[in-house]
Amino acid sequence: MREIKFRAWDDEHEQWVYGWYTKLTEGIRRFDAIISDVNGELIRFYIHDLKTIGEYTGLHDVNGKEIYEGDIARIIYIDYPGSTSEVRHPPIISDVAYHDFTASFSFGECKDGDATHFNHRHMEIEVIGNIHEHGNLLEAKA
């Protein structure tokens, strides 16, 4: 079972924060926040731009980096991995998206228009940025 956690951009501290996503109510006001364990203390980070919230996929890229919704990845598909017939396809640049209908993560708009679901045994994934800071990486593939 994968670990359920989120990340979001914290405008106040100008950094990514990682932890549990929650909606807080203080009086009549509601806030979206990420709760993080910082040195054994639970800290709230208020999230102003909800579009920056991304869920952890449960996967790591080839460098061991956690893959989150909203990441941009370089993907190399591999046919017959590990065999003498192994075929490595040219890299594709795509974003990581969550799909409500299938309740799964996939690569969004791939070059061929295909929404390819994760099957990490037959591909190499390297996170090269995210849609919030490096959206230009997706424009380059068009």
- Cα three-residue angle 72-131-142, rounded to 5 degrees: 70
Q: Is 58 within a domain? A: yes
My answer on whether 59 and 106 are in the same domain is yes
Would 30 be classed as within a structural domain?
A: yes
Q: Within a domain: residue 1?
A: no
Model pLDDT for residues 5-27, shown as the tens digit of each residue: 999 998 888 899 999 999 998 88
Q: CA of 89: how far to CAs of 32, 106, 123, 136, 140, in Å?
A: 41, 18, 9, 23, 19
Same domain, 44 and 60: no
- Tens digit of each residue's pLDDT (9 = 90 or more) over 33-87: 999 998 999 999 999 899 999 999 999 999 999 999 999 999 888 888 888 998 8
The answer to whether residue 62 is domain-embedded is yes
Which letter does DSSP use for residue 65 in this model?
Answer: P
Query: CA–CA separation, 41 vs 21, rounded Å?
Result: 16
- Residue pair 17/33 in contact (Cβ under 8 Å)? The answer is no
| Judgement on whether residues 45 and 66 belong to the same structural domain of the protein | no
What predicted TM-score, i.e. pTM, was given to this entire model?
Answer: 0.82
